[in-house]
């Protein structure tokens, strides 16, 4: 069976974290189920890959290895500020998602690409680094920490993109959150990613003006397609909803 490097791309628009998570879980389970069936079939069916773009209403999420004391407000205070709170099954600690942020959720069967989680994470980071370069900024990695940063090794080190993933049987879910026009004051309510002594930034803050999210997303896509050597196929959200019989 030839691996499938077709990536079915869906823009979810503005959607709650809960609904996007439920959709990820359904697609994730579908891919794994197909892999289990394929082991018993003489003519296996290629597994599908998906990539979901989304912009969430304000929400703080705590990963499976996260510490609750990195949340600096109680849940009642969060609710009063209109911020949802969600325990999730991705790796990593605590982070914020909200308007003006580009969130990407790849649901890839890495058997279709390469079976190397480290390389997978580095590719996601590289796509953001290359996008920052398009805007004249030098994004870098911080040793021992996932994500993309600016000015690492200086007192002004600041994070512009967070990563947190889950993988099972080489199938991935969750992904990255890239601060573009994000209101950074929300990060005051957490210890971002459990890391102290480093700041948080956005593309808008670095460039001094808001960006068109669609334009930034298109640049990111170009780099993702190149890095994963994939063929991307856009799917309308309504088609995915009808096909999977889901309610968003």
Closest listed residue to residue 86, CA positions, set 16, 14, 176, 191:
16
Query: 68 in a domain, yes or no?
Result: yes
For residues 125-153, give the mean pLDDT.
95
In percent, the amount of the chain with pLDDT more than 70 equals 95
The reported pLDDT for the residue numbered 191 is 79
For residues 9-16, give the mean pLDDT.
95
Closest listed residue to residue 10, CA positions, set 169, 165, 242, 166:
242
Kindly report the CATH number assigned to the domain that includes residue 128.
3.30.930.10
Query: Are 139 and 149 a contacting pair, CB within 8 Å?
Result: yes
pLDDT digits (tens, 9 = 90+) for 161-191: 999 999 999 999 999 999 999 999 999 888 7
* Pairing assessment for the beta strands 6-14 and 49-55 based on DSSP bridges: parallel
Query: 101 in a domain, yes or no?
Result: yes
pLDDT digits (tens, 9 = 90+) for 86-105: 888 898 788 999 999 999 99
Query: 89 in a domain, yes or no?
Result: yes
Query: 1 in a domain, yes or no?
Result: no
Q: Which of 193, 200, 203, 224 is catalytic?
A: 193
Query: Are 38 and 47 a contacting pair, CB within 8 Å?
Result: yes
- Whether 157 shows a pLDDT value over 70: the answer reads yes
Counting the structural domains of the chain, the total is 1
Give the residue numbers spanning the domain of 82: 6-244
Active site residue 193: yes
Beta pairing partners, 8 = 50, 233
Query: 103 in a domain, yes or no?
Result: yes
Confidence of residue 45 (pLDDT cuts 50, 70, 90): confident
């Amino acid at each position: 069976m030839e691996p499938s490097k077709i990536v079915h791309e869906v823009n979810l628009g503005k959607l709650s974290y809960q609904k996007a998570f439920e959709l990820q879980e359904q697609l994730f389970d579908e891919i794994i189920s197909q892999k289990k069936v394929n082991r018993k079939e003489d003519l296996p069916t290629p597994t599908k890959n998906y990539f979901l773009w989304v912009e969430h209403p304000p929400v703080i999420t705590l990963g499976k290895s996260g510490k609750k004391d990195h949340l600096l407000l109680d849940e009642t205070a969060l609710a009063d500020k209109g911020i949802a709170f969600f325990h999730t099954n991705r790796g990593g600690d605590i982070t914020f998602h909200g308007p003006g942020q580009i969130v990407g959720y790849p649901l890839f069967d890495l058997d279709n690409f390469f079976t190397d989680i480290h390389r997978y994470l580095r590719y996601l980071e590289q796509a953001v680094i290359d996008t920052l370069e398009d805007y004249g900024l030098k994004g870098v990695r911080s040793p021992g920490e996932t994500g993309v940063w600016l000015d690492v090794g200086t007192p002004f080190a600041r994070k512009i993109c967070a990563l947190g993933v889950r993988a099972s049987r080489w199938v991935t879910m969750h992904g990255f959150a890239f601060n573009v026009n994000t209101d950074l004051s929300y990060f005051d309510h957490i210890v971002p990613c459990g890391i102290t002594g480093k700041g948080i930034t956005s593309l808008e803050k670095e460039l001094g003006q808001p960006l068109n999210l669609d334009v930034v997303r298109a640049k990111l896509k170009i780099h993702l397609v190149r890095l994963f050597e994939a063929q991307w196929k856009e799917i309308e959200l309504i088609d995915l909803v009808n096909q999977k019989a889901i309610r968003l």
